[in-house]
Amino acid sequence: MAPVASDVPERSVQRIAPTAAEDGATWPLNWPRPPRLLARPEPIEVIALLPDHPPVSFTWRGKRRRVKRADGPERIFGEWWKRSSEWVAVRDYFVVEDDVGERFWIFRAGDGVDAETGSHKWFLHGMFA
């Protein structure tokens, strides 16, 4: 796997041959990224204050999890220079830890205020080790 210059998480990685030459590209270090991204973000049910508060709890795959700690939001904008449909695409990501110590990377589609920026639905996108 190798980094790609993209803020959109699912576009920031590519498969390369094991013998491919290094090009010097690195992933940004300013915000943590989970070592495991889901193939597609999965919808979750969330209890949270809008617009900028992390969830108090969330339900994923039928299991409710209470959030003990959270960091964020990290706002990621769509790549508007590639597609006009991403002009107003916004995701607010949070790193959350549940009451048993598992850490997840979740996001809200939209800014929590303006409906044009996204659906305001929540998704789980990855897990930390």
| Average pLDDT taken over every residue of the chain | 86
Average of pLDDT values for 56-78? 94
**Predicted pLDDT of residue 6:** 62
Euclidean distance between the first and final Cα of the chain, in Å?
18
What domain range includes position 56?
34-127
The answer to the question of residue 109 being in a domain is yes
**Predicted pLDDT of residue 15:** 80
Q: How many domains does the chain have?
A: 1
The answer to the question of residue 21 being in a domain is no
> pLDDT of 24-58, one tens digit each?
777 666 777 888 889 899 999 999 987 889 999 99
The answer to the question of residue 96 being in a domain is yes
Question: Residue 86's pLDDT band (boundaries 50, 70, 90)?
Answer: low
The answer to the question of residue 27 being in a domain is no
- 90, burial (CB in 10 Å: exposed 0-12, middle 13-18, buried 19+): buried
The answer to the question of residue 79 being in a domain is yes
**Predicted pLDDT of residue 73:** 92
pLDDT of 88 strictly over 90: no
Of the two residues 101 and 6, the one the predictor is more confident about is 101
> pLDDT of 105-127, one tens digit each?
999 998 888 888 888 999 999 99
